[in-house]
Chain A
Amino acid sequence: MIIQTKSDILSSEITPKEVFDDRRRFLQQAGFGLLAGATGLLASPSFATSGNLPAQYKAGKPLLKLPDFTKSKYGTGEKLTSFEDITTYNNYYEFGTSKNEPTVHSKLFKPVPWTVSIEGQVKKNKTISIEDILKLAPLEERIYRMRCVEGWSMVIPWVGFPLAQLIKWAEPNSNAKYVEFVSLADTQQMPGVNLPILDWPYTEGLRMDEAMNPLTIMAVGLYGEALPNQNGAPMRLVVPWKYGFKGAKAIVKIRFTDKMPMTTWMKAGPAEYGFYANVNPQVDHPRWTQSSEKRIGAGLFAGRIKTQMFNGYTEQVGQMYAGMDLRKNY
Protein backbone atom coordinates (compact mmCIF):
# COMPACT_ATOMS: atom_id res chain seq x y z
CA MET A 1 0.00 0.00 0.00
CA ILE A 2 1.23 3.42 -0.83
CA ILE A 3 0.70 5.98 1.85
CA GLN A 4 0.48 9.38 0.30
CA THR A 5 1.83 12.16 2.46
CA LYS A 6 1.31 15.79 1.79
CA SER A 7 4.42 17.46 0.46
CA ASP A 8 5.86 19.87 2.98
CA ILE A 9 7.00 22.17 0.20
CA LEU A 10 4.50 24.91 -0.48
CA SER A 11 3.55 25.08 -4.11
CA SER A 12 4.63 28.72 -4.06
CA GLU A 13 8.13 27.65 -3.14
CA ILE A 14 8.56 25.49 -6.20
CA THR A 15 10.38 27.30 -8.95
CA PRO A 16 7.85 28.73 -11.39
CA LYS A 17 8.10 27.20 -14.81
CA GLU A 18 9.21 30.33 -16.60
CA VAL A 19 12.01 30.91 -14.09
CA PHE A 20 13.04 27.28 -14.44
CA ASP A 21 13.06 27.56 -18.23
CA ASP A 22 14.92 30.81 -18.06
CA ARG A 23 17.59 29.22 -15.90
CA ARG A 24 17.96 26.39 -18.40
CA ARG A 25 18.34 28.96 -21.13
CA PHE A 26 20.86 30.79 -18.98
CA LEU A 27 22.87 27.61 -18.49
CA GLN A 28 22.79 26.87 -22.19
CA GLN A 29 23.99 30.35 -22.93
CA ALA A 30 26.69 30.02 -20.31
CA GLY A 31 27.85 26.83 -21.97
CA PHE A 32 28.01 28.54 -25.30
CA GLY A 33 29.75 31.42 -23.57
CA LEU A 34 32.61 29.20 -22.47
CA LEU A 35 33.09 28.00 -26.01
CA ALA A 36 33.03 31.45 -27.52
CA GLY A 37 34.98 32.90 -24.63
CA ALA A 38 37.80 30.55 -25.45
CA THR A 39 38.22 32.31 -28.75
CA GLY A 40 37.94 35.63 -27.01
CA LEU A 41 34.88 36.68 -28.94
CA LEU A 42 31.90 36.57 -26.67
CA ALA A 43 32.77 38.85 -23.81
CA SER A 44 33.31 41.75 -26.15
CA PRO A 45 30.68 44.44 -26.50
CA SER A 46 31.28 44.19 -30.21
CA PHE A 47 29.80 40.72 -30.23
CA ALA A 48 27.14 41.36 -27.63
CA THR A 49 23.63 41.87 -28.91
CA SER A 50 23.13 45.12 -30.71
CA GLY A 51 20.43 47.75 -30.27
CA ASN A 52 17.34 46.18 -31.73
CA LEU A 53 16.55 43.36 -29.37
CA PRO A 54 14.42 40.41 -30.38
CA ALA A 55 10.73 41.16 -30.00
CA GLN A 56 10.27 38.91 -26.98
CA TYR A 57 12.68 41.06 -24.98
CA LYS A 58 10.92 44.34 -25.62
CA ALA A 59 9.07 45.61 -22.58
CA GLY A 60 6.08 43.35 -22.18
CA LYS A 61 2.67 44.21 -20.83
CA PRO A 62 3.20 45.88 -17.45
CA LEU A 63 1.74 43.94 -14.55
CA LEU A 64 0.88 46.95 -12.47
CA LYS A 65 -2.14 49.04 -13.42
CA LEU A 66 -1.47 52.73 -12.93
CA PRO A 67 -4.25 55.04 -11.80
CA ASP A 68 -4.90 58.13 -13.88
CA PHE A 69 -2.28 60.82 -13.71
CA THR A 70 -2.05 64.47 -14.59
CA LYS A 71 0.51 66.30 -16.67
CA SER A 72 2.64 68.54 -14.49
CA LYS A 73 4.38 71.84 -15.08
CA TYR A 74 7.68 70.00 -14.99
CA GLY A 75 8.89 69.54 -18.51
CA THR A 76 12.10 70.44 -20.15
CA GLY A 77 10.97 71.49 -23.59
CA GLU A 78 13.61 69.16 -24.95
CA LYS A 79 13.01 66.24 -27.27
CA LEU A 80 12.05 63.13 -25.29
CA THR A 81 14.38 60.16 -25.47
CA SER A 82 12.57 57.30 -27.21
CA PHE A 83 10.90 54.56 -25.17
CA GLU A 84 13.10 52.07 -27.01
CA ASP A 85 16.31 53.80 -25.90
CA ILE A 86 15.12 54.33 -22.32
CA THR A 87 14.23 50.65 -21.99
CA THR A 88 17.23 49.05 -23.71
CA TYR A 89 20.13 51.11 -22.35
CA ASN A 90 20.17 50.66 -18.59
CA ASN A 91 22.63 50.60 -15.73
CA TYR A 92 21.02 48.05 -13.44
CA TYR A 93 23.79 45.75 -12.23
CA GLU A 94 21.35 43.41 -10.45
CA PHE A 95 20.45 42.24 -13.96
CA GLY A 96 23.95 42.40 -15.45
CA THR A 97 26.62 45.01 -16.07
CA SER A 98 26.12 45.49 -19.81
CA LYS A 99 23.66 48.16 -20.86
CA ASN A 100 21.45 45.69 -22.73
CA GLU A 101 21.44 42.95 -20.10
CA PRO A 102 18.75 44.41 -17.78
CA THR A 103 16.22 44.35 -20.63
CA VAL A 104 16.85 40.68 -21.24
CA HIS A 105 17.38 39.40 -17.71
CA SER A 106 14.54 41.33 -16.06
CA LYS A 107 11.92 39.88 -18.35
CA LEU A 108 10.59 37.43 -15.77
CA PHE A 109 11.00 39.73 -12.79
CA LYS A 110 7.83 40.05 -10.72
CA PRO A 111 7.13 43.60 -9.52
CA VAL A 112 3.86 42.53 -7.88
CA PRO A 113 3.08 41.64 -5.16
CA TRP A 114 5.42 44.18 -3.57
CA THR A 115 5.77 45.67 -0.13
CA VAL A 116 8.03 48.41 1.10
CA SER A 117 9.10 48.51 4.74
CA ILE A 118 9.59 51.75 6.62
CA GLU A 119 12.19 51.61 9.39
CA GLY A 120 14.63 53.55 11.55
CA GLN A 121 13.87 56.93 13.04
CA VAL A 122 10.11 56.74 12.62
CA LYS A 123 7.14 56.85 14.95
CA LYS A 124 6.74 53.15 14.32
CA ASN A 125 8.01 50.62 11.79
CA LYS A 126 5.47 49.71 9.16
CA THR A 127 5.05 48.20 5.73
CA ILE A 128 3.00 49.31 2.79
CA SER A 129 2.01 47.54 -0.42
CA ILE A 130 2.69 49.03 -3.82
CA GLU A 131 -1.06 49.26 -4.42
CA ASP A 132 -1.45 51.38 -1.29
CA ILE A 133 1.53 53.51 -2.23
CA LEU A 134 -0.24 54.37 -5.48
CA LYS A 135 -3.14 55.70 -3.40
CA LEU A 136 -0.96 57.93 -1.20
CA ALA A 137 -0.84 60.81 -3.62
CA PRO A 138 -2.13 61.75 -7.06
CA LEU A 139 0.26 60.67 -9.80
CA GLU A 140 1.71 63.18 -12.20
CA GLU A 141 3.95 63.09 -15.22
CA ARG A 142 7.36 64.65 -14.68
CA ILE A 143 9.63 65.17 -17.65
CA TYR A 144 13.17 65.28 -16.31
CA ARG A 145 16.67 65.25 -17.69
CA MET A 146 18.67 62.26 -16.47
CA ARG A 147 22.44 62.71 -16.44
CA CYS A 148 24.53 59.58 -15.91
CA VAL A 149 27.92 59.89 -14.24
CA GLU A 150 29.34 58.12 -17.32
CA GLY A 151 28.71 61.18 -19.44
CA TRP A 152 25.44 60.47 -21.24
CA SER A 153 21.96 61.84 -20.70
CA MET A 154 18.32 61.29 -21.55
CA VAL A 155 15.04 63.19 -21.28
CA ILE A 156 12.52 60.92 -19.57
CA PRO A 157 8.76 61.28 -19.03
CA TRP A 158 8.36 59.65 -15.62
CA VAL A 159 5.05 59.08 -13.89
CA GLY A 160 5.30 59.37 -10.13
CA PHE A 161 4.58 61.36 -7.01
CA PRO A 162 6.68 63.54 -4.71
CA LEU A 163 8.74 61.49 -2.27
CA ALA A 164 7.67 64.05 0.36
CA GLN A 165 4.16 62.50 0.29
CA LEU A 166 5.52 59.06 1.15
CA ILE A 167 7.73 60.54 3.87
CA LYS A 168 4.73 62.33 5.37
CA TRP A 169 2.92 59.00 5.57
CA ALA A 170 6.04 57.31 7.04
CA GLU A 171 6.08 59.76 9.96
CA PRO A 172 9.80 60.14 10.67
CA ASN A 173 10.72 61.46 14.12
CA SER A 174 12.86 64.48 14.87
CA ASN A 175 16.10 62.43 14.79
CA ALA A 176 15.64 61.63 11.11
CA LYS A 177 18.30 63.60 9.24
CA TYR A 178 18.80 61.27 6.29
CA VAL A 179 16.80 58.75 4.29
CA GLU A 180 18.27 55.48 3.12
CA PHE A 181 16.83 53.53 0.18
CA VAL A 182 17.47 49.82 -0.14
CA SER A 183 16.83 47.95 -3.38
CA LEU A 184 15.77 44.35 -3.75
CA ALA A 185 18.65 41.86 -4.00
CA ASP A 186 16.97 38.61 -4.99
CA THR A 187 19.44 35.98 -6.17
CA GLN A 188 16.61 34.04 -7.81
CA GLN A 189 15.23 36.83 -9.93
CA MET A 190 18.35 38.94 -10.34
CA PRO A 191 21.31 37.04 -11.84
CA GLY A 192 23.72 39.93 -11.29
CA VAL A 193 23.31 39.72 -7.51
CA ASN A 194 25.18 36.41 -7.59
CA LEU A 195 28.33 38.23 -8.64
CA PRO A 196 30.33 40.14 -6.02
CA ILE A 197 30.62 43.20 -8.26
CA LEU A 198 28.85 45.52 -5.82
CA ASP A 199 28.07 45.15 -2.15
CA TRP A 200 24.43 44.05 -2.36
CA PRO A 201 21.78 45.14 -1.69
CA TYR A 202 22.10 48.39 -3.61
CA THR A 203 21.79 51.21 -1.14
CA GLU A 204 21.36 54.91 -1.73
CA GLY A 205 20.61 57.90 0.42
CA LEU A 206 19.49 61.51 0.57
CA ARG A 207 19.65 64.27 3.13
CA MET A 208 16.20 64.99 4.56
CA ASP A 209 15.84 68.35 2.80
CA GLU A 210 16.86 66.75 -0.51
CA ALA A 211 14.31 64.00 -0.01
CA MET A 212 11.60 66.57 0.77
CA ASN A 213 12.43 68.77 -2.22
CA PRO A 214 9.45 68.99 -4.59
CA LEU A 215 11.64 67.81 -7.49
CA THR A 216 12.42 64.48 -5.82
CA ILE A 217 9.93 61.82 -6.88
CA MET A 218 9.20 58.17 -6.56
CA ALA A 219 8.62 57.02 -10.12
CA VAL A 220 6.16 54.21 -10.78
CA GLY A 221 5.67 54.77 -14.49
CA LEU A 222 7.29 55.73 -17.74
CA TYR A 223 5.67 57.06 -20.92
CA GLY A 224 2.27 56.78 -19.25
CA GLU A 225 2.57 53.07 -18.41
CA ALA A 226 3.76 51.19 -15.35
CA LEU A 227 7.53 51.24 -14.97
CA PRO A 228 9.23 48.50 -17.04
CA ASN A 229 11.26 46.03 -14.97
CA GLN A 230 14.59 47.18 -16.39
CA ASN A 231 13.88 50.75 -15.29
CA GLY A 232 13.31 49.82 -11.64
CA ALA A 233 9.77 48.44 -11.32
CA PRO A 234 7.66 48.72 -9.35
CA MET A 235 9.05 51.89 -7.76
CA ARG A 236 12.30 53.80 -8.04
CA LEU A 237 13.80 57.04 -6.85
CA VAL A 238 14.34 59.93 -9.30
CA VAL A 239 16.48 62.87 -8.20
CA PRO A 240 16.98 64.86 -11.40
CA TRP A 241 19.78 67.18 -10.25
CA LYS A 242 21.98 64.26 -9.19
CA TYR A 243 23.81 61.66 -11.25
CA GLY A 244 21.61 58.76 -12.26
CA PHE A 245 23.10 56.22 -9.86
CA LYS A 246 21.40 58.04 -6.96
CA GLY A 247 18.08 56.74 -8.28
CA ALA A 248 17.75 53.44 -6.43
CA LYS A 249 15.53 50.97 -8.28
CA ALA A 250 13.06 48.33 -7.06
CA ILE A 251 12.99 49.83 -3.57
CA VAL A 252 11.99 47.45 -0.75
CA LYS A 253 13.11 49.40 2.29
CA ILE A 254 13.18 53.04 3.32
CA ARG A 255 15.12 53.74 6.49
CA PHE A 256 15.35 57.08 8.27
CA THR A 257 18.66 57.68 10.00
CA ASP A 258 20.41 60.30 12.09
CA LYS A 259 23.75 59.67 10.37
CA MET A 260 24.69 59.94 6.72
CA PRO A 261 24.10 56.47 5.21
CA MET A 262 26.91 54.70 3.40
CA THR A 263 25.88 54.12 -0.20
CA THR A 264 26.84 51.24 -2.46
CA TRP A 265 28.90 53.34 -4.85
CA MET A 266 30.65 55.17 -2.01
CA LYS A 267 31.84 51.77 -0.81
CA ALA A 268 32.79 50.68 -4.34
CA GLY A 269 34.88 53.74 -5.14
CA PRO A 270 35.12 56.42 -2.45
CA ALA A 271 37.40 58.59 -4.59
CA GLU A 272 34.95 58.49 -7.48
CA TYR A 273 31.48 58.56 -5.97
CA GLY A 274 30.39 60.77 -3.10
CA PHE A 275 27.19 60.95 -1.10
CA TYR A 276 25.88 64.08 -2.80
CA ALA A 277 26.68 63.21 -6.43
CA ASN A 278 25.16 66.45 -7.66
CA VAL A 279 25.56 67.00 -11.39
CA ASN A 280 28.40 69.49 -11.54
CA PRO A 281 30.32 70.36 -14.71
CA GLN A 282 33.07 71.98 -12.63
CA VAL A 283 33.94 68.93 -10.58
CA ASP A 284 35.57 66.35 -12.79
CA HIS A 285 35.40 62.62 -12.32
CA PRO A 286 38.63 60.56 -12.42
CA ARG A 287 37.26 58.65 -15.42
CA TRP A 288 34.79 60.77 -17.33
CA THR A 289 34.48 64.32 -18.53
CA GLN A 290 31.71 66.00 -16.57
CA SER A 291 31.68 69.34 -18.38
CA SER A 292 29.81 67.91 -21.35
CA GLU A 293 27.57 64.97 -22.13
CA LYS A 294 26.20 62.91 -24.96
CA ARG A 295 22.45 62.99 -25.44
CA ILE A 296 21.14 59.49 -26.12
CA GLY A 297 19.24 59.31 -29.39
CA ALA A 298 20.94 62.35 -30.92
CA GLY A 299 22.76 60.15 -33.42
CA LEU A 300 26.26 59.29 -34.48
CA PHE A 301 27.37 62.79 -35.47
CA ALA A 302 25.61 64.98 -32.90
CA GLY A 303 28.68 65.65 -30.75
CA ARG A 304 28.30 66.64 -27.11
CA ILE A 305 26.22 69.20 -25.25
CA LYS A 306 27.33 71.27 -22.27
CA THR A 307 26.40 69.83 -18.90
CA GLN A 308 24.52 72.29 -16.69
CA MET A 309 25.09 72.94 -13.00
CA PHE A 310 22.69 70.77 -10.97
CA ASN A 311 21.62 69.36 -14.36
CA GLY A 312 19.80 72.63 -15.03
CA TYR A 313 17.78 72.60 -11.78
CA THR A 314 19.80 75.22 -9.85
CA GLU A 315 16.77 77.44 -9.35
CA GLN A 316 14.91 74.70 -7.47
CA VAL A 317 17.77 73.10 -5.54
CA GLY A 318 20.77 75.45 -5.46
CA GLN A 319 19.87 77.02 -2.09
CA MET A 320 20.19 73.64 -0.32
CA TYR A 321 23.93 73.67 -0.95
CA ALA A 322 24.65 77.31 -0.18
CA GLY A 323 27.98 77.62 1.63
CA MET A 324 29.00 74.01 0.94
CA ASP A 325 32.27 73.19 -0.78
CA LEU A 326 30.94 71.10 -3.65
CA ARG A 327 34.45 70.05 -4.63
CA LYS A 328 34.80 68.26 -1.30
CA ASN A 329 31.16 67.20 -1.08
CA TYR A 330 31.06 65.61 -4.52
Chain B
Amino acid sequence: MPAWIYEKTIRLQLLSFIGKVPDRKLVARLKLAIFLLCLIPLLRLFWLAFHDDLTANPVEFVERSTGYWSLFMLLSTLSLSPIRLMTGRSWQLQYRRMLGLFMFFYACLHVMAYLWLDYAFDWSDIFKDIVKHPYVLVGASAFMLTLPLAITSNNAMIRLLRERWKQLHKLVYVIAILAVVHFLWLVKKDLREPMLYAAILVLLLAIRIYYRAARRKA
Protein backbone atom coordinates (compact mmCIF):
# COMPACT_ATOMS: atom_id res chain seq x y z
CA MET B 1 0.00 0.00 0.00
CA PRO B 2 1.47 3.39 -0.96
CA ALA B 3 2.54 5.30 2.09
CA TRP B 4 0.32 8.33 1.40
CA ILE B 5 -2.90 6.27 1.43
CA TYR B 6 -1.86 4.76 4.71
CA GLU B 7 -1.06 8.15 6.09
CA LYS B 8 -4.42 9.64 4.97
CA THR B 9 -6.34 6.72 6.41
CA ILE B 10 -4.65 7.04 9.75
CA ARG B 11 -5.29 10.75 9.69
CA LEU B 12 -9.00 10.27 9.03
CA GLN B 13 -9.25 7.79 11.86
CA LEU B 14 -7.45 10.05 14.25
CA LEU B 15 -9.67 12.91 13.23
CA SER B 16 -12.75 11.20 14.43
CA PHE B 17 -11.17 10.51 17.80
CA ILE B 18 -9.27 13.59 18.76
CA GLY B 19 -10.88 16.20 16.55
CA LYS B 20 -7.72 17.21 14.76
CA VAL B 21 -8.49 19.88 12.20
CA PRO B 22 -8.19 18.55 8.64
CA ASP B 23 -6.32 20.68 6.14
CA ARG B 24 -8.20 22.61 3.48
CA LYS B 25 -7.57 20.05 0.81
CA LEU B 26 -9.14 17.28 2.84
CA VAL B 27 -12.10 19.47 3.75
CA ALA B 28 -12.68 20.18 0.06
CA ARG B 29 -12.42 16.52 -0.88
CA LEU B 30 -14.83 15.50 1.83
CA LYS B 31 -17.18 18.19 0.65
CA LEU B 32 -17.15 16.80 -2.87
CA ALA B 33 -17.73 13.31 -1.50
CA ILE B 34 -20.71 14.45 0.58
CA PHE B 35 -22.08 16.35 -2.40
CA LEU B 36 -21.98 13.23 -4.55
CA LEU B 37 -23.46 11.10 -1.77
CA CYS B 38 -26.37 13.52 -1.44
CA LEU B 39 -27.17 13.07 -5.12
CA ILE B 40 -27.56 9.30 -4.82
CA PRO B 41 -31.23 9.39 -3.71
CA LEU B 42 -32.09 11.40 -6.82
CA LEU B 43 -30.10 9.14 -9.13
CA ARG B 44 -31.75 6.16 -7.51
CA LEU B 45 -35.20 7.54 -8.36
CA PHE B 46 -34.18 7.99 -11.99
CA TRP B 47 -32.72 4.50 -12.03
CA LEU B 48 -35.91 2.98 -10.57
CA ALA B 49 -38.11 5.03 -12.90
CA PHE B 50 -36.06 3.91 -15.89
CA HIS B 51 -36.51 0.27 -14.84
CA ASP B 52 -40.22 0.73 -14.11
CA ASP B 53 -39.53 -0.24 -10.53
CA LEU B 54 -41.21 2.56 -8.55
CA THR B 55 -43.80 0.18 -7.00
CA ALA B 56 -47.47 -0.09 -7.94
CA ASN B 57 -47.99 3.51 -6.82
CA PRO B 58 -45.03 5.39 -8.32
CA VAL B 59 -46.34 8.85 -7.48
CA GLU B 60 -46.67 8.01 -3.81
CA PHE B 61 -43.22 6.43 -3.90
CA VAL B 62 -41.60 9.56 -5.34
CA GLU B 63 -43.46 11.77 -2.87
CA ARG B 64 -42.44 9.61 0.08
CA SER B 65 -38.86 9.22 -1.04
CA THR B 66 -38.17 12.91 -1.71
CA GLY B 67 -39.96 13.86 1.51
CA TYR B 68 -37.91 11.39 3.47
CA TRP B 69 -34.61 12.58 2.01
CA SER B 70 -35.51 16.18 2.63
CA LEU B 71 -36.12 15.33 6.29
CA PHE B 72 -32.90 13.32 6.38
CA MET B 73 -30.89 16.30 5.09
CA LEU B 74 -32.64 18.57 7.57
CA LEU B 75 -31.75 16.35 10.52
CA SER B 76 -28.18 16.00 9.21
CA THR B 77 -27.87 19.79 9.05
CA LEU B 78 -29.12 20.07 12.61
CA SER B 79 -26.69 17.43 13.87
CA LEU B 80 -23.53 19.40 13.07
CA SER B 81 -23.85 21.88 15.93
CA PRO B 82 -24.43 19.21 18.59
CA ILE B 83 -21.21 17.55 17.41
CA ARG B 84 -19.42 20.85 18.01
CA LEU B 85 -21.01 21.25 21.42
CA MET B 86 -20.09 17.74 22.49
CA THR B 87 -16.59 17.44 21.01
CA GLY B 88 -15.46 21.02 20.59
CA ARG B 89 -14.79 20.24 16.95
CA SER B 90 -16.15 22.77 14.51
CA TRP B 91 -14.74 22.06 11.05
CA GLN B 92 -17.81 20.00 10.17
CA LEU B 93 -19.86 23.19 10.28
CA GLN B 94 -18.37 23.98 6.86
CA TYR B 95 -20.81 21.45 5.39
CA ARG B 96 -23.89 22.93 7.02
CA ARG B 97 -24.88 25.19 4.14
CA MET B 98 -24.53 22.44 1.57
CA LEU B 99 -26.63 20.01 3.59
CA GLY B 100 -29.22 22.73 4.20
CA LEU B 101 -29.43 23.42 0.49
CA PHE B 102 -29.83 19.70 -0.20
CA MET B 103 -32.73 19.74 2.24
CA PHE B 104 -34.22 22.56 0.15
CA PHE B 105 -33.43 20.71 -3.07
CA TYR B 106 -35.27 17.54 -2.00
CA ALA B 107 -38.09 19.63 -0.53
CA CYS B 108 -38.50 21.29 -3.95
CA LEU B 109 -38.61 17.88 -5.64
CA HIS B 110 -41.13 16.75 -3.01
CA VAL B 111 -43.38 19.75 -3.67
CA MET B 112 -43.01 19.32 -7.43
CA ALA B 113 -43.98 15.66 -7.16
CA TYR B 114 -47.06 16.72 -5.22
CA LEU B 115 -48.09 19.58 -7.53
CA TRP B 116 -47.23 17.93 -10.81
CA LEU B 117 -47.30 14.12 -10.47
CA ASP B 118 -50.01 13.88 -7.83
CA TYR B 119 -52.30 16.80 -8.72
CA ALA B 120 -51.27 17.62 -12.30
CA PHE B 121 -51.34 21.34 -11.35
CA ASP B 122 -55.08 21.25 -10.66
CA TRP B 123 -54.92 24.39 -8.50
CA SER B 124 -58.47 24.25 -7.20
CA ASP B 125 -57.99 20.68 -5.94
CA ILE B 126 -54.56 21.58 -4.55
CA PHE B 127 -55.99 24.57 -2.70
CA LYS B 128 -58.76 22.40 -1.23
CA ASP B 129 -56.28 19.74 -0.22
CA ILE B 130 -54.06 22.24 1.59
CA VAL B 131 -56.90 23.96 3.41
CA LYS B 132 -58.82 20.84 4.40
CA HIS B 133 -56.05 18.51 5.47
CA PRO B 134 -53.88 19.58 8.42
CA TYR B 135 -50.86 17.50 7.44
CA VAL B 136 -50.74 19.10 4.00
CA LEU B 137 -51.10 22.57 5.51
CA VAL B 138 -48.26 21.93 7.93
CA GLY B 139 -46.05 20.59 5.15
CA ALA B 140 -46.84 23.52 2.87
CA SER B 141 -46.02 25.95 5.70
CA ALA B 142 -42.71 24.24 6.33
CA PHE B 143 -41.83 24.54 2.66
CA MET B 144 -42.77 28.24 2.51
CA LEU B 145 -40.46 28.88 5.45
CA THR B 146 -37.53 27.23 3.68
CA LEU B 147 -37.75 29.78 0.83
CA PRO B 148 -36.30 32.79 2.73
CA LEU B 149 -33.56 30.58 4.11
CA ALA B 150 -32.57 29.30 0.67
CA ILE B 151 -32.65 32.82 -0.80
CA THR B 152 -30.39 34.19 1.95
CA SER B 153 -27.97 31.28 1.94
CA ASN B 154 -25.17 33.06 0.05
CA ASN B 155 -22.24 34.99 1.53
CA ALA B 156 -23.45 38.35 0.26
CA MET B 157 -26.70 37.94 2.19
CA ILE B 158 -24.85 36.89 5.32
CA ARG B 159 -22.74 40.08 5.13
CA LEU B 160 -25.75 42.22 4.35
CA LEU B 161 -28.03 40.93 7.11
CA ARG B 162 -25.46 40.22 9.85
CA GLU B 163 -27.25 39.67 13.16
CA ARG B 164 -30.63 39.56 11.45
CA TRP B 165 -29.34 36.69 9.30
CA LYS B 166 -28.73 34.66 12.45
CA GLN B 167 -32.19 35.46 13.70
CA LEU B 168 -33.77 34.58 10.36
CA HIS B 169 -32.00 31.24 10.12
CA LYS B 170 -33.35 30.16 13.49
CA LEU B 171 -36.44 29.43 11.40
CA VAL B 172 -34.83 26.09 10.66
CA TYR B 173 -36.02 24.87 14.07
CA VAL B 174 -39.61 25.78 13.23
CA ILE B 175 -39.24 24.06 9.86
CA ALA B 176 -37.89 20.91 11.50
CA ILE B 177 -40.78 20.71 13.96
CA LEU B 178 -43.34 21.32 11.19
CA ALA B 179 -41.69 18.70 8.98
CA VAL B 180 -41.85 16.04 11.69
CA VAL B 181 -45.47 16.93 12.50
CA HIS B 182 -46.23 16.73 8.77
CA PHE B 183 -44.94 13.15 8.78
CA LEU B 184 -46.69 12.22 12.04
CA TRP B 185 -50.07 13.44 10.82
CA LEU B 186 -49.73 11.82 7.44
CA VAL B 187 -49.33 8.33 8.83
CA LYS B 188 -52.53 6.39 9.32
CA LYS B 189 -51.81 4.20 12.30
CA ASP B 190 -48.28 2.86 12.43
CA LEU B 191 -46.37 5.77 13.96
CA ARG B 192 -43.06 3.99 14.44
CA GLU B 193 -41.20 5.63 11.58
CA PRO B 194 -42.24 9.26 12.15
CA MET B 195 -41.70 8.76 15.90
CA LEU B 196 -38.10 7.75 15.18
CA TYR B 197 -37.46 11.07 13.42
CA ALA B 198 -39.34 12.97 16.10
CA ALA B 199 -37.07 11.34 18.68
CA ILE B 200 -33.93 12.27 16.72
CA LEU B 201 -35.13 15.87 16.47
CA VAL B 202 -35.92 16.01 20.18
CA LEU B 203 -32.45 14.69 20.94
CA LEU B 204 -30.75 17.24 18.68
CA LEU B 205 -32.70 20.08 20.26
CA ALA B 206 -32.18 18.75 23.79
CA ILE B 207 -28.39 18.75 23.34
CA ARG B 208 -28.52 22.43 22.34
CA ILE B 209 -30.72 23.32 25.31
CA TYR B 210 -28.51 21.40 27.70
CA TYR B 211 -25.33 23.15 26.60
CA ARG B 212 -27.00 26.53 26.57
CA ALA B 213 -28.18 26.00 30.15
CA ALA B 214 -24.72 24.81 31.19
CA ARG B 215 -23.12 27.89 29.66
CA ARG B 216 -25.57 30.18 31.50
CA LYS B 217 -24.70 28.54 34.79
CA ALA B 218 -20.97 28.84 34.24
The stretch among A230-238, A254-262, A282-290 that forms the contact with chain B is A282-290
A152 in contact with B57 (CB, 8 Å) = yes
A51 in contact with B56 (CB, 8 Å) = yes
Bound together, the chains give a CA A318 to CA B66 distance in angstroms of 41
B188 in contact with A46 (CB, 8 Å) = no
With A294-B118, A300-B49: A43-B192 Cβ-Cβ less than 8 Å: yes
With A40-B72, A99-B57, A268-B189: A287-B119 Cβ-Cβ less than 8 Å: no
Contact with B along A142-178 (1 / 0, CB 8 A): 0000000010100000000000000000000000000
Q: How many chain B residues touch A (Cβ–Cβ < 8 Å)?
A: 44
A291 in contact with B55 (CB, 8 Å) = no
Chain B residues in 8 Å Cβ range of A99: 55-57
With A287-B135, A303-B119, A304-B118: A150-B54 Cβ-Cβ less than 8 Å: no
Q: Determine chain A's interface SS by DSSP, over half rule.
A: loop
A45 in contact with B68 (CB, 8 Å) = yes
The stretch among A85-93, A104-112, A116-124 that forms the contact with chain B is A85-93
Other-chain residue from B52, B118, B192, B200 in contact with A40 (beta carbon distance below 8 A): B200
Bound together, the chains give a CA A299 to CA B196 distance in angstroms of 31
B55 in contact with A286 (CB, 8 Å) = no
Chain B residues in 8 Å Cβ range of A85: 56
Asked whether any CB of chain B lies closer than 8 Å to the CB of A296, the reply is yes
B120 in contact with A304 (CB, 8 Å) = yes
Give the number of residue pairs across the A-B interface with Cβ within 8 Å.
104
Bound together, the chains give a CA A45 to CA B192 distance in angstroms of 12
B56 in contact with A88 (CB, 8 Å) = yes
Least Cβ–Cβ distance between A249 and chain B, in angstroms: 16
Asked whether any CB of chain A lies closer than 8 Å to the CB of B58, the reply is yes
With A198-B189, A292-B125, A301-B117: A46-B69 Cβ-Cβ less than 8 Å: yes
Bound together, the chains give a CA A195 to CA B196 distance in angstroms of 16
Q: Which of B125, B186, B189, B192 has the most CB of A within 10 A?
A: B189
A51 in contact with B119 (CB, 8 Å) = no
Bound together, the chains give a CA A152 to CA B63 distance in angstroms of 14
Least Cβ–Cβ distance between A262 and chain B, in angstroms: 17
Q: How many chain A residues touch B (Cβ–Cβ < 8 Å)?
A: 39
Contact with B along A205-244 (1 / 0, CB 8 A): 0000000000000000000000000000000000000000
Chain B residues in 8 Å Cβ range of A296: 56-57
Interfacial residues of chain B within 12-53, with CB under 8 A of chain A in the complex: 41, 44, 48-49, 51-53
Asked whether any CB of chain B lies closer than 8 Å to the CB of A52, the reply is yes
Least Cβ–Cβ distance between A190 and chain B, in angstroms: 15
Asked whether any CB of chain B lies closer than 8 Å to the CB of A129, the reply is no
B54 in contact with A51 (CB, 8 Å) = yes
Bound together, the chains give a CA A99 to CA B61 distance in angstroms of 11
B residues at A contact (CB < 8 Å): 41, 44, 48-49, 51-62, 64-65, 68-69, 72, 75, 117-120, 122, 125, 128-129, 132-135, 185-186, 188-190, 192-193, 196-197, 200
CB-based closest 3 A-B pairs: A303-B120, A89-B56, A46-B65
